[in-house]
Amino acid sequence: MPGRKRMLENIENRHLRKEFMRIFVLILAVFILNVCLYMTLSISFSNMYVNDRHVPGNFADEISSGIGLGGNYSASGDIGRRMDSLGVWAMLVSDSTGDVVWSRNLPREVPLHYRFGDFDSLSTLNLCGYPIFTASHPEGLVITGYPRDSYINVLVSQPYNNISRIRNITLSFIIISILLLIVVSFGYGWTSYRALKGIVKGIEDLSLGKAVHLKTTGRFSAIATCVNAASDRLQGYSQHRKKWIAGVSHDIRTPLSIILGKADKTGDEDIKFQAVRIRELIKDLNLYSALEFSEALDKSRFRAAAFVRNTATDFLNALPSGYSLSVSVAESAENKYVYGDRHLLERALYNLLYNSIVHNVSGCDISISLGMAGKRLRLTVSDNGTEISPEMIRELNLRTLPGATAPDENIRGAHGLGLYIVVEIIRLHKGTVVYSNVSPRGFSTEIIL
């Protein structure tokens, strides 16, 4: 046992390490991809710079050098053509007067006179909404302006279209990263779902007492190994218990036959009844084992009214003195059929009849009625004997709910396995059972099939 426990712990630790490594590799892959995208983005940015001839700062220097000195200012030839083609305007502001002493393509809204303090505002590199660039001149300051929305002047001068491209690339980068994470998460989740689907089914089968043998390969092999180990252990316990019940039943059968034979010879009805009761308890014990292991039903289609009458007749032949048994079948139920395991349903009816006898030692009247509840059959077994407490009624009915397990000590002590087996048999037939006291006295069981 300790060695097995250590083995399972080692398997679990290996499984956790594998899952951690998978997640780490996925994160690392996303990180590497982001680095590659960043490098691609950087290279793309490096190719976005304009030709040196058209760099605004360089062009401003060219204009400053080419307009001349001493009042003979002119931007002719190649410089003028380039200014016209690019939509560039330029002006020369005199150091001494602050007046514009030369200009080309100057917009009307641009002032023609500047004070010394106005040059501070030019440090924003924007004049009347135009992006501007400056260059020094021996006789003043050359200011060149470009069309609105052509440049955004930041630390690095770029065409307006380039800034838009940067925004789009950055947005694309973010979207691609998010989509990548979504795809990776979905892929990881989908593969996990497929791997866990079989394990969940195995656990569900395990809860129903079925043998489970999952594949011990793949992502969740450690969990599959543990489920298989649990299944093997439970099946081992179940087989041992089943063999033990079968052995005890076999050992009791021989002395019980002797007791029944002696009782028949002596005519002692009490001994005979108690022996028959022990025989029925053995049958209940074997049936309880079969129901617990969910053995397959042997279903067939048979007439409900005939089934009830035949079962009551068989039971009536062994009915002790002091008891009476009556059967009533409603006309609406006379020709209705049941599809189920005839032997198990007979066992359920026998258990209800024996319950009335066992708990009413001084005798009682037992009645069986068969009728309809809508489109389903209603079978009622009642007596006018001893009532049971409301607490026990409530506990018995709780056992009829889906998911209820074996009866607790209160039920086993008061009513044995009989009523519990009734519930299990009817549940296997998709029916319901309701226990209740009847007025003025007695106990009743209603079965809907």
* 235-252: pLDDT as tens digits: 777 666 666 666 666 666
347-366 average pLDDT score? 87
Where is pLDDT greater, at 5 or 158? 158
Task: Report the pLDDT value the prediction gives residue 159, as an integer from 0 to 100.
Answer: 67
pLDDT over 50 at 42, yes or no: yes
Task: Give the DSSP per-residue string, 226-281.
Answer: HHHHHHHHHHHHHHHHHHHHHHHHHHHHHHHHHHHHHHHHHT-HHHHHHHHHHHHH
What count of Cα atoms within 13 Å lies in the side-chain half-sphere of residue 443?
A: 22
Q: What is the pLDDT of residue 106?
A: 92
Q: Which residue has the tokens 């590659």?
A: 36
Phi-psi region of 177 (alpha: psi -120 to 50; beta: other; left: phi over 0): alpha
Token pair recorded at residue 147: 């069309």
Average pLDDT, the chain: 77
Q: What mean pLDDT is predicted for residues 308-317?
A: 88
Q: pLDDT grade, residue 396 (50/70/90)? A: confident
Given a cut of 80, whether residue 89 has pLDDT beyond it is yes
**Which pLDDT belongs to residue 55?**
78
- Mean pLDDT (whole number) for 210-239: 76
Residues of the chain above pLDDT 90, percent: 15
CA dist list (Å): 140 to 118, 224, 254, 389: 14, 85, 130, 113
What does the pLDDT look like over 301-311, one tens digit per residue? 999 999 999 99
Single-letter amino acid, residue 214: L
Which pLDDT belongs to residue 10? Answer: 57
- How many distinct helices (H) and strands (E) make up the chain? 12, 14
Run of H or E residues at 369: strand 364-373
> 134-162, pLDDT tens digit by residue?
888 998 899 999 998 888 766 556 666 76
Structure tokens at 62: 């060219």
Q: Give the span between the Cα atoms of 141 and 135, in whole angstroms.
A: 6
For the residues 49-72, what does the mean pLDDT come to?
Answer: 78
pLDDT at residue 308, as a whole number: 92
Confidence of residue 117 (pLDDT cuts 50, 70, 90): low
d(CA 332, CA 305): 10
pLDDT at position 376 = 92
User: Alpha-carbon distance 52 to 49, whole Å?
Assistant: 9
Q: Is the pLDDT of residue 45 over 70?
A: no
pLDDT-above-70 percentage for the chain: 70
Nearest residue to 189 via CA among 219, 165, 161, 211? 219
- Work out the pLDDT band at 8, boundaries 50, 70, 90: very low
Q: How many angstroms separate the Cα of 89 from the Cα of each of 2, 71, 80? A: 90, 19, 10
Asked if 182 and 155 touch (Cβ cutoff 8 Å), the reply is: no
The number of angstroms, rounded, from the C-alpha of 268 to the middle of its chain's C-alpha atoms is 64
Average pLDDT rounded to a whole number, residues 53-73: 84
The Cα 28–Cα 21 span in angstroms is: 10
Q: What single-letter amino acid sits at 306?
A: A
pLDDT above 50 (res 410): no
Secondary structure E strands in 397-442: 432-437
**E strand segments, 21-99:** 89-94
Which of 39-48, 106-115, 201-210 holds the top average pLDDT? 106-115
User: Is the model's pLDDT at 423 over the cut of 50?
Assistant: yes
Q: What is the rounded average pLDDT of the residues 429-433?
A: 88
pTM: 0.46
- State the average pLDDT over residues 399-417: 49
Report helix angle 269-292 to 221-266, nearest 10. 170
Say how far apart CA 430 and CA 352 lie, in whole Å.
19
Q: According to the model, what pLDDT value does residue 144 have? A: 92
- CA 60 from centre of chain: 67
The pLDDT confidence band at residue 43, using thresholds 50, 70 and 90, is low
